[in-house]
A and B are shown apart, each in its own frame.
Chain A
Amino acid sequence: MSEPSTTTILSTSRSKLSVWCVCLVALLAFAPGHAEAADEVLRKVAVADPYLEMHTGPGRGYPIFHIVDRGEQVEILMQRTYWYQVRTERGIEGWVDQDQMELTLNPDGTAVEFRRATLEDFTNAKWEAGILAGDFGGANIVSLYGGYSINPHVSVELWGSQILGNFSNGWMGSVNVVHETWPDWRFSPFFTLGAGVIHTSPKSTIIQGDDRTDEVGHVGAGLRIYASRRFLFRVEYKSYVVFTSRDENEEVEEWKAGFAFFF
């Protein structure tokens, strides 16, 4: 059966195919309602606990306004943080906490499992992003980073920083390799090694000088501290060597603290 269809596609000219593609895109663009209606298959769960409490909003403080009895089914419309917006068979919509959602059953009768981030995820999560700020050789530094874990011990990070000093400003971009010796500890120390570029421009009002772009290399160590859920705190020290075009290389020490989350 599959072979004739392949032949058909091959015999169709490229221009004809692109016309079809355009038509398809146009159809999708102009008929979003239809597309959504066709796509919208919502996940259904059955209430297994004596009842399911529906709040008016996604938070502990919002009042409970409706209760779904055991055995009834609800559709999950969306998730925001650890709250689920559900719709009952009668069309009432409300928000349910993850703890309660975990007591529902799938259509095949198995227990529903909604993963909640734990210390284990802190160790094993693939992606991490965060914001740190601190001191870079006397100047202020604001940094943003994203990291990918190759395994629980080793990860690669991409950093972008802005340096704001009294005499000069600049930015820095670098790639780091991070090694965590005890990734399963709540206070997990790490060592890091990296390289990048630094761009500095002296403040014209104070000192005369040209903008410079130099390569940097650095080593460092720090601590990742699991806070709760997907949050972690991070403190670190890095020692930079700036490979200047002058006779001597510059050495800069950096201290930073901030927070990050993993996902």
Chain B
Amino acid sequence: MESRFRVLFLIALAVMLSGCAATKNLFGIGDDEAPPPSAEPPGQVIDPEVERRDIKEPAIDREDFEVGAFAGLMSIEDFGTDAVYGVKLAYHVTEGFFVEASVGQSEAGLTSFEQLSGSALLFDDRDLTYYNLNLGYNVLPGEVFVGEGRAYNTNFYLIAGLGSTNFADDDRFTVNFGAGFRFLLTDSISIHVDFRDHLFDSDILGREKVTHNLEGTVGVAVFF
């Protein structure tokens, strides 16, 4: 039994060695056997190169940016609710994520103190302007159906970001978060319904506190 194994082993070894001998040229151990240089004059060789048809592909239209305007109501804490309007620009990075920058303006109404006392205003410049830089995520992409034969694409998104609010002669660091609904009228035109809470510190009425300024807007945007 053992001798049979020994024979098998020797045969295997012999086969392997002969294999090595055959392939040794591959590893450059063997003699250099370069093919002889072609003796034909260059004029007689048929040029195998076929001239390629160079097709320039038309560029694909990328529509990742979305620009739009919005209007709605903003409730400024202690200062009543007033109209708000603004513009925004979004860039869609993936089907889920988008970044957005928006600028808005509203006007402060009267505090109850100002109304009741009838005295001078707490401050003169009643405009509130804000900007913010946000990151949004389309959590619930979907479709809505209008009647029997129409379907529109929609997105329900969550959005949050940072920015600044200029109010009562002061810039205030502002955090905002909220949710929105994007209704795609066509593949390039969208209607937005947005709800946000803008939080900033305010000491206008004496003690410093975090104010919640709720905003609800409707907007139209165009992809480009």
Binding site for B on A (CB under 8 A): 41-43, 56-63, 76-85, 106-108, 131, 133, 140, 142, 144, 162, 164, 169, 203-205, 229-231, 259, 261
22 CB-based A-B contacts, threshold 8 Å = A42-B58, A43-B57, A56-B143, A58-B95, A59-B141, A61-B141, A61-B142, A63-B143, A76-B60, A78-B60, A78-B61, A79-B60, A79-B61, A82-B95, A83-B95, A106-B55, A142-B164, A164-B164, A164-B172, A169-B170, A231-B94, A261-B93
Whether B173 is near chain A, meaning CB under 8 Å from some CB there, is yes
Known: A56-B151, A61-B142, A144-B133. A80 touches B58 (CB 8 A): no
- The 4 closest A-B CB pairs, nearest first, are A164-B173, A140-B173, A57-B153, A78-B61
Given the complex, which residues of A lie within 8 Å of B125, measured CB to CB? none
CB distance from B172 to the nearest CB of A (A): 6
Question: B-side binding surface: helix, strand, loop or mixed?
Answer: strand
Residue B114 interfacial (CB < 8 Å): no
In the complex, what residues of A have CB within 8 A of residue B138's CB? 59
- The residue among B53, B57, B59, B141 with the most chain A CB atoms within 10 A of its own CB is B57
Would A81 and B99 count as touching, CB distance under 8 A?
A: no
Tell me the number of A-to-B contacts counted with CB atoms below 8 Å: 94
B82 within 8 A of A: no
Please tell me if B163 contacts chain A, counting CB pairs below 8 Å.
Answer: yes
Question: Is B169 interfacial (CB-CB < 8 Å)?
Answer: yes
Contact call B93/A81, Cβ cutoff below 8 A: yes
Decide yes or no whether B92 CB sits under 8 A from chain A.
Answer: yes
Q: B127 an interface residue at 8 Å Cβ cutoff?
A: no
User: How far apart are the CA atoms of A4 and B162 in the complex, in Å?
Assistant: 62
| Besides A62-B143, A108-B55, 11 new A-B residue pairs in contact (Cβ under 8 A), listed by A number | A59-B138, A60-B95, A62-B153, A78-B60, A78-B187, A79-B61, A79-B64, A83-B95, A131-B133, A204-B169, A231-B93
Point out the residues of chain A lying under 8 angstroms from B62, CB to CB.
Answer: 78-80
Residues of A within 8 A of B93 (CB): 81, 229-231, 261
Give B contacts to A, CB under 8 Å. 53, 55, 57-64, 91-97, 99, 133, 135, 138, 141-143, 151, 153, 161-164, 169-173, 184, 187, 203, 223
What's the minimum C-beta distance from A92 to chain B, rounded to whole angstroms? 14
The answer to whether A43 and B141 touch across the interface, beta carbons within 8 angstroms, is: no
Q: B187 and A85: CB pair below 8 A? A: yes
Residues in chain B near residue A81, CB distance under 8 A: 64, 92-95
B60 pairs with A162, CB closer than 8 A: no
Output the nearest chain B residue to A58 by Cβ-Cβ distance: B95
Q: Are B133 and A142 in touch, CB under 8 angstroms? A: yes
A114: nearest chain-B partner, CB-CB: B60
What residue of chain A has the Cβ atom nearest to residue B96's Cβ? A59
A259 near B135: Cβ-Cβ < 8 Å? yes
Nearest CB in chain B to that of A133: its residue: B162
Cα separation A63 to B184 with both chains bound (whole Å): 16
The chain B residue sitting closest to A76, CB to CB, is B60
Task: Provide the residues of chain B in CB contact with A60, threshold 8 Å.
Answer: 95
Residues of B within 8 A of A77 (CB): 61
Alpha-carbon separation in the docked complex, A133 to B134 (Å) = 11
A84 B133 Cβ-Cβ under 8 A: no
Q: How far is the CB of B66 from chain A (nearest CB, A)?
A: 10
Asked whether A142 lies within 8 Å of B153 as measured between CB atoms, the reply is no
Inter-chain contacts of A84 with B (CB < 8 A): 60
Q: Contact between B99 and A261 (Cβ–Cβ < 8 Å)?
A: yes
Q: Given contacts A56-B151, A133-B162, A203-B170, are A231 and B95 in contact (CB under 8 A)?
A: no
Q: A81–B172 Cα gap in the complex (Å)?
A: 34
**B171 contacts A106, C-beta separation under 8 Å:** no
Q: In the complex, which residues of chain B have a beta carbon less than 8 angstroms from the beta carbon of A205?
A: 170, 203
Query: What residues of chain A lie closer than 8 Å to B63, measured between beta carbons?
Result: 78-80
